[in-house]
Each structure stands twice: as C-alpha cells, then as structure tokens.
Structure 1
C-alpha cells in the first residue's frame, strides 16, 4: 500500500482575514484533531467568551498570539486525508511579519492566500502575491473568505476574483485559483456549500487534494557538500582509507560512474560510490541525503558543489539578486554582509541598490535603500566565488540568504537573477470557475 502523496502548503493574508480559523476548520472538518485538543480549545474559547469553539486556537499556540488574537509566528501543522498528506504553515498577516511569510512560502508547493470578501484586494494581498511570484511557488489558491458576511453574493465574489486575477497577472503569478469560503461557517472548505449554488468548482480541500506537488529541481545533478566524512579512532580496518562527502542532492541526479566537477575549484573526477544508511545506491535523486565517494583524492570541503560535468554552472564573484529585505535596518550600497549559498558562506558587499518593487504599479522604481519588507534588486560583490544559477533554473542553487556578520541574524532572502522582470510561462493563466 502506497503512502498518500505529500503536499506542502502555506497560508497567508492580511490581519483578521481568518487564516487561523480557516486552518482550524480544515483540521476540524477533516477530523484531523484529537479529542483532548478540541477539549482544550473549547475550554479556552469559553474563557474568552465564545459561544462555541474558536478554531483559530488550533494554530495560534503562542501565549502572545492568544492574548492579541493574531498570529505572530509560523505555526506548522500536519494532517492527512485518504488521498494526501499535508504539511501546513500558517503564516502571520501583519505587515511587520512578512518575513515569516517568506519563510513559510519558501518551501511550499501551494500558497493559500485569504482575501476578505468585504475588503477585497489590499496592500498585503499584493505583497503576498509578489512573494509567491518571486519564490516561484507552483500554485496559488485565493480563498475569498467571509462570503457569509456579503450574503453569499455571486457578484461580490466575481468582483474580488477579477481584481485578484488582474493583480496576479501584473505581478507575474503563473496560475491562481479562487474559491468562495466561510472559514467560520465551513462553507466550501471541506464540504460543498448549498448557499453558493452559483459556484461550480471544488471545495478548498478538494482543490488541494487535486493539485500536483512541485516536481523539484530537475536537470543536471547538483550536490552541495555539507560534511567531509573520515572515520577516526575505533573505525574498523575496512574504513581506514574511507573518505566520503555527505549532503543532500539539490537538483537532478548523480550516478555511480558519472563524471563530475568540484566547484568552485573546477577539479574533475568521477563518482565511484553512493552510500546511505540503508546501503549503497547506483543513483541519487534530488532530495535524497547521501554520501558520495569520488574516484580521485581531490580537495573537497564543506561549501563546495559537486556538479555534473556535462553541464556545470559557472562560478562568479558578482551577483545580481532580487531580495526580500527582512530587517529593521535599511540596506544601502557599501553594506558588508555574509552570503549563504547552499552550504557555502562567503563575505559580500552591496555594490548597488538598483531599485525596489512598487506594489501598486507592479514594477521596479529607483531606490537608494531597501527597508523592512521591501522587495528590490541589488548587485553584490563576493570575497570568494560561488557556483550560482538563476533562480528560474533552480530554487535551490538559485537562492541565498544575507546574514549579519556580527550577530548571525538573517537579513534577507535572495534570489539569483532578475526575478522581478522574469516572465512566467506564456500559457499560464489565472483559473476561475465560471459563475
């Protein structure tokens, strides 16, 4: 019997759009919570004066969140149906916590973006659509929530859906699905609503069960080295000369007998063995954690990249990148930082802040600095080279972090290349179900 296919999803939206309530409704109606969890939620709900269970408490686990009634951290939840397993990240809605949304969406197959049917598209809607576009999240689902508060109006739903589709096109989102829901009442979340006969599409859960997960990075093999393994001391004689390079295959595949190149040095060699805790493999695929053995005694260290020799990336010390700036401190030309690319950390300096994304105009405007939650384009000069690829080619080898060299705080999530002007596939269009 095969396991249900895994889908990673993240929820996003503006404050009070009902994200946590929607997640709670998904968990409750899909029978994915335990009796003692529900008892605890009902008890806290009564203490707060609610007549019934406040399902938002199923995800708002932090004391500060419960006191304020908002989500301020990424809350991860796991649930499953007969058709699929889910890892869900409930992201905060307040503008000052957009950095958490970047974290939650960075590994997601699907972003579920909530829009209040009464308010329609707001600034945070644009910001979260921009983040989904920049991070190349494969699927975006817009839940038009609180449809009960507009009397289940087909006209209001159509107007909000049209606005969402327009903004999505402007920001380069490949495909967006819209669903009218009431997280509080449960309409079209897990079960189809009789109060929206004008909506012919699937429920939110039905749609999530149908969407294909991300295929992962394809193409030539890429293997960032995380650890050099050389057994010491009590290791048996069979391991006396063992040298392996542990890590996770970031893209493509690597096979025994394949010619590879170690970057940034450019040394060529051959894979002679692939070891795992469960035994040797002939071929390792993206996502698998393995130990490579190479045919030559070459100089390999943590941070090096083992790549297929047939199509190896170029190394560079100059990077044009698109940033989601996550720090309270502004970023200006001349700022010195650390850049983390796969397992490699190098010193970097900002040569130029090219511009920032104007969310209203949906294009880049000149700027001499980036401030908290800005999305912009910069050029960086590195102290030593990295084997970087365009983010459009690989979400793994095309991404990086900028780190404060003094306290180790993460300052920005970056994408190699000009992601702000990169076009999506020409055939992709927003998906709306005819009313």
Structure 2
C-alpha cells in the first residue's frame, strides 16, 4: 500500500495551515514541533482532530512520511532533516505545498530588503482595484490555510530565501526580485553565491508567458542575468536610466513603459519615501499593470497606502524635530537606504546584535549627514571604534529612554532623529517590533 502520510515539521502559522490543507486533501497528517505550540494553534489541531506532538520530534513517527512540509526556520542541516533526506523522503516548503492546490494567479516577491513593503503595496493596489486577492507567504495568514478554506483569484506572496530553498514546482505568474545583499549567510555555508542561487529560485519554473520584475541597477542581479537563461518576460526597474520594458525614476517622476502604455506618478506625493521605496513602488506598479489594473486605479490607490510599522515610520514631530522608527533595518544595507531618504541633519540611533556588519557601506553617508550617533546596545565597541573619528558626538546607552533623551538634546528644529539599528535586537529587546514599540513609547514620553 502506498503511504499517504504527510508530516509537518513546525507548528506555527505555516505549519498548521499546511496540516489543515493536507487533511482537506485526504492526507494522513502528523505535525511535530520541537518547541511548544502556541495555544491558538494547538486548539486548531485539537478541534480538527489532527495528530500532533510538541517539545519533541519522535523519529519513528516522522521517518515513515511520504511527504514532509518543513518550517522555513528549520535548516536543511538539522539532524532530522538530514535523516529524511537520506531516506529520499521529499521535503517541501508550505509555499510549494499550497501552490499545488490552487489555480489562483501568484505574484511572488523576494529580496534581501523591501519585501514586506512591496508585498503590502502590491496587495493594496489589487485590493483597491476590486480584485479578489489574498495576502500570504512570509506575512499575514498561512498560504496553505487560505488555499484550504478560501477562494481567491490572486495571491500576493512575500517569499523568503528559506521558503525558496524547498520548492519543486512552485511557479509564480509574476516574480519580483528587489535586491540581493549579504544576509542569513550562516544558513548558506557563508557563501553569498549559495544565497543568491536561493533567491533566483523564484524564477526557476517560470515559462514564457510569465513575468519577471527585477531591479536592474543591482550589480548582483545584472551579473546573474548575464549567466542565466530565464524564459519569462523581463520588466526592469531602474533609479538611474531609461529601460526598454519596465519602469524608471526620472527626477521626481516614476515612469513606466509597459505594453507601449506610459504611466507617470509623482514620487514625492506618495506616502513612502526614499530611493529604496521608489524601487518598491515601481515593482508593485508593474505587477498591477501586468494583472490588467487600470492606470487610474493604480494612481488613486498609491496615495492611500499605509506601510507596515517599523519601516521609516514617522512617530512624531516635537519642537520641529522629526522622530523616525526604522527598527526593521536590521542590516547595513537597510540603513544605507534609510540615511539616503533624508536631506536633513540626522541624529542616528543604532546598535544591537552585530551580524558581521561591514560599516564601510554607510561611511560616506554617515560622514555627510549624521551629527550624532547614539549606540543602543550591550556591545558598543565595534560601532564606536568604526565611527568615533567620523561622527562628532557618540553616546552609549543600554536604555531606550536615555537614548531618545540624548538624541533630543543634540537635535534642533529641522533635524531627524532616526532609529535605524543595522543590527538585530536580541541584546535588549524581544525582536525588532519590541524595539520599535519601545522607541515609540520613549518618544511619546518626551511629549508628556
């Protein structure tokens, strides 16, 4: 008898969603999580009579699987995954599994930075145009869960490299690649090429009728395109030059050239700022145009977009000083774009858990724009040593309220106080959201 046992590794949003979809498709489902499953997910499994375990992985219940759906957080090098691979048991991501059971058109968005903003903006453009569209992937509700219980015509998917590592037939109708900069290299044998290959999996199964939207100014992407055969229709995005098919920034204008139809949008009028967000906006606009959304509806929807928190989020203006929460900037590349988003003098709050950062990328911008650096971290030496000859004033703190008060003392009307850490948050905070929320609270305390 052929086994139809589906094993899910990981009992979070994506894992439980995959279990629900698997059950609906007739699989014998077993879910296993090495940690403790949250109560809301545990209750879903109990209510649906899906077998599961947590705080352990019982190999005898896992290694007889016909198919395994693995959480993106579990590396391929973990002993359990290695044992499954040795038995030639197929291992896929939730993204791959869900895509097998939907006829909806898929817009998949990846990149080292900007994925969430671009995904949310693309979803907003589709939703405002009246499309029957779902939001999933690395954001929102589980893709598999939605495929099991909803009936969308389109899905806008934020896709991480970890999710792309375990695809087989996943084929987006529109693939978006925003940028590739060093990140998560510990998962890729400290090989940037391995990480790059993972990102390019997003176009691996595309065909001639599909579309590939990419940032043409990226040297990494340009080099890969020269060495790869990609059959899909290519739409380039550029901040510096005209493109034959795609979209460019020309002065203050975003100008698209798609199917001989020109669309122009004044960029400063949009609610998102900075050159990186111009790239994000152009990618979203092109994805909407490919889906047939009218230019007038795109233009209207762009003006009503609200970005996710912690991404160049304006918190307050106090005595003429603007406070910006960019806690999501957990790598140097993100800080580069953040600094480039402002012409005003900046008091920068940075620091946290350094992931092997190379600060030379932002040295010139810091020298030109940053009047003071507040290092918010338990380990300040690397940042201090790098910037003490570059920045006029440095203050070291392990308390966000103290950090914000010091920034306020240095700032004058017309300045920006910018939290853009370049580092992970785990030395002083639970995560980047916690760091951003504590920063917003500290800024609020200045008003009282």
TM-score range, shorter chain: under 0.3
Pick 1 or 2: higher relative contact order, CA cutoff 8 A, min separation 6: 1
Report the TM-score when normalising by structure 1. Answer: 0.25
Q: Which has the higher strand share?
A: 1
Report the TM-score when normalising by structure 2. Answer: 0.25
